[in-house]
Homo-oligomer: A and B are copies of this chain.
Amino acid sequence: MTDRYQQFTQSSLGRQLTKRLGLPQPTPLRRYQPGEPLLTGPVLIGGNGKLCDAIGNTLREIGAAAHKDPATGERYAALVFDATGIENSEQLRSLYDFFSASIKQVDRCGRVIVLGTQPESLSDPRAATAQRALEGFTRTAGKELKRGATSQLVYVADGGEGALGSTLRFLLSGKSAYVSGQVIRIGAAKVPATDWEKPLADKVALVTGASRGIGASIAETLARDGAHVVCLDVPAQGGELAEVANRVGGSTLQLDITAEDAPAKLAEHFDERHGGLDIVVHNAGITRDKTIGRMTAAQWESVIAVNLSSQERINAKLLGEGSPLNEGGRIVCVSSMSGIAGNVGQGNYATSKAGVIGHVQSHAPLAAEKGATINAVAPGFIETKMTATIPLFVREAGRRMNSMSQGGLPVDVAETIAWYANPASSGVNGNVVRVCGQSLLGA
């Protein structure tokens, strides 16, 4: 689960050498294991706002000890600060007071979570300004924490207080190991009763591109959470696809998603075999790298078709008339850091993945009308067979240039998708969350 350099840094010699030379010392990340507690130590909570009750409730439910005053020498598994009460820039002082006194006590793989209110929803411009300012703080904290700890900002709309639980659990747990420096928005929503061990029990999920890499990990993770997973890939991947489906107790569907009749065939399959569909993960994607001046029309078209247009056509079916998508449906799209920042040699890919962001943002209101959600993950450097073929120096730069000083694992992307897919995540709609260890690269 760790790369060779990381293994070396954990040896006695490696530890000394990397320390002397000032080289990155990646901490093995805490990752979720079923049956283990979400947190391994107490949580220090601070701030004063509309979310204090919701935070307290979730911590009680997961059995975490909640402290209100920092105790000398204590190591905290998480610092959680309710900043929704901050109404102007002078009051940001309370944010400083809390964290300057406690941030050194964050444990290895600990968590910093600041909760605020969407700036764009506030009518008082000074309050909106102060709430927007929180982002500069949490991103800085993420870069200062080190040792596998993460930092996030969660904006909660009025009416979204009761919908905070799934997100708070995700961020506190090892499921968000490689998610840091992110801004998450939670809208007003009702949340059904949730079995937190098997949140996807009785749900039917479709995962495209499921035969390997990140797709296979998504299938495994959704199955772990109780879903029946229909693993989809092109016929050429049939063998590997069947292996994955067997492993997760799911089924297979061989289909070219770019085919004109793919949306209709999908609808038919789920209507007939499963009486509907609850979760769709658009994971299938291809790269055909060339600089813009050397790219062929076929390279452009195939990437746009697989990564964007086919998803658009399938989602039009899912959010339109005669849809197989059940009430409370979840659509998850996979974008990319390239789609956010652009990337040399990936004009086609970056365009398609920026389009995925536009797709999620423009379809979120349509999803909400149907009681569904649509969100995206944007992976950074994830350790897969694909990234293993990148030349050494480029690979090492991608791996180390983030707050974790290491690449993420496919399961980190999968856990983020499982958080979106959770029925309790009904308030999470239209989000784009990077799974990048707070990569330095951005836009």
Residues of A whose CB lies within 8 Å of any CB of B are 88-90, 92-93, 95-97, 99-100, 103-104, 119-120, 122, 125-126, 128-144, 181, 291-295, 297, 300-301, 304, 308-309, 312, 338-355, 357-359, 361-363, 366, 440-443
**Closest residue to A297 on the B side, CB-wise?**
B96
Q: Are A347 and B291 in contact (CB under 8 A)?
A: no
Contact B354 A141 (CB under 8 A): no
Assembled-state Cα–Cα distance A293/B97 (Å)? 10
Question: What's the Cα separation between A354 and B135 when bound, in Å?
Answer: 6
Nearest Cβ distance between residue A321 and chain B, in whole angstroms? 16
Q: Is the CB of A140 within 8 A of B358?
A: no
Q: Of all chain B residues, which has the CB nearest A364?
A: B125
Closest 5 A/B residue pairs (Cβ): A442-B442, A132-B358, A139-B342, A136-B354, A133-B355
**Residues of B close to A297: CB separation below 8 A:** 93, 96-97, 100
Chain B residues closer than 8 Å to A100, beta-carbon distance? 292-295, 297, 300
B residues near A141, Cβ cutoff 8 Å = 292, 342, 347
Say whether, besides A143-B343, A354-B134, A442-B443, A348 and B96 are in contact (CB < 8 Å). yes
- Complex CA distance for A174 and B152, rounded to whole angstroms: 39
CB neighbours of A134 from chain B (8 A): 351, 354
Q: Which interface residue of A129, A343, A353, A361 has the most chain B CB atoms within 10 A? A: A129
Contact of A128 among B88, B338, B361 (CB under 8 A): B361
Within the complex, the shortest CB–CB distance from A322 to chain B, in Å, comes to 18
Contact A339 B136 (CB under 8 A): yes
- Asked if residues A342 and B441 are in contact (CB atoms below 8 Å), the reply is no
Residues of B contacting A96 with CB < 8 Å? 292, 295, 297, 300, 347-348
User: Which residue of B has the minimal Cβ distance to A95?
Assistant: B351
CA distance A295 to B308 in the complex (A): 46
Q: Is the CB of B353 within 8 A of A136?
A: yes
Give the residues in chain B near A129, CB-CB below 8 Å: 308, 312, 355, 358-359, 362
B354 touches A132 (CB 8 A): yes
Which residue on B lies nearest to A307, using beta carbons?
A: B89
How many whole Å from A326's CB to the nearest CB in chain B? 21
The answer for the CA separation of A293 and B92 in the assembled complex, in Å, is 16
Closest B residue to A104 using CB positions: B293
Q: Which residue of B lies closest to A316 (CB)?
A: B126
A365 (CB) vs chain B CBs: closest residue: B125
Q: Complex Cα distance A103/B300, Å? A: 15
A340–B295 alpha-carbon span in the complex (Å): 33
Cross-chain pairs A/B with CB under 8 angstroms, 21 sampled = A89-B308, A89-B312, A93-B304, A103-B293, A119-B361, A128-B361, A128-B362, A130-B355, A132-B362, A134-B354, A135-B443, A136-B342, A136-B351, A139-B354, A139-B443, A140-B347, A141-B342, A143-B342, A144-B293, A144-B344, A442-B442
